[in-house]
Amino acid sequence: MGKLILFCIICLCCNRVFAQKDTLQTYVVSYDEKMVGSITYQNSSNTFFMTYEDGADSYKAEFIPNTQQRLVAGLSYKMIDVSVGFTPNFMKNDGSKLESNNFNLGFRFNYKKWYQSVTFINQKGFFIDFDHLQRFYLPRFRSTKLGGTTSYVFNDKFSYKTIFNQNQWQLKSAGSFVPNFSVYYTNLTSKDRPDHVHIDMYTFSLAPSYHYNWVISQKFLVSAGLLVGAGINIADKDVTPLYEVSTNIKLGYNTDSFFTYLGVNSNSFFQEEGKNEFYDSFADVKLAIGYRFDPPKKFKKLYNEVTRRIGF
- pTM for the model stands at 0.79
Among candidate residues 44, 190, 48, the one with its CA nearest the CA of residue 125: 190
Ordered by where they begin, the domains of the chain are 36-310 (2.40.128)
Q: Give the whole-angstrom CA distance, residue 171 versus residue 59.
A: 50
Between residues 140 and 22, the one the model is more confident about: 140
Mean pLDDT of the chain: 81
pLDDT score for 18: 38
pLDDT at 6 over 60: no
How would you classify the pairing of strands 168-170 and 69-77? Answer: unpaired
Return d(Cα 274, Cα 227) in angstroms, integer.
25
% of residues, the chain, pLDDT over 70: 83
Q: What is the pLDDT of residues 120-138, one digit of tens each?
A: 988 888 888 887 778 888 8
- Residues contacting residue 83 through CB under 8 Å, at least 6 positions apart: 40, 72, 73, 74, 75, 104, 105, 106, 107
In sequence order, the 6+-apart residues with CB closer than 8 A to the CB of 66 are 92, 93, 94, 97, 100, 125, 126, 127, 137
Q: In degrees, to the nearest 5, what angle opens at C-alpha 50 toward C-alphas 44 and 55?
A: 165
Per-residue pLDDT tens for 234-261? 887 788 888 899 999 999 999 999 999 9
Tell me the per-residue pLDDT of 226-237, one tens digit each, with 9 for 90 and over: 999 999 988 877
Over the stretch 268-310, which tens digit does the pLDDT of each residue have? 888 776 556 777 887 888 899 999 999 888 888 888 888 788 7
d(CA 176, CA 210): 6
Residue 65 forms beta bridges with which residues? 126
Q: Taking residues 194-220, report their average pLDDT.
A: 88
Sequence-ordered list of residues with C-beta below 8 angstroms from that of 190, at least 6 positions apart, any chain: 138, 140, 141, 142, 196, 197
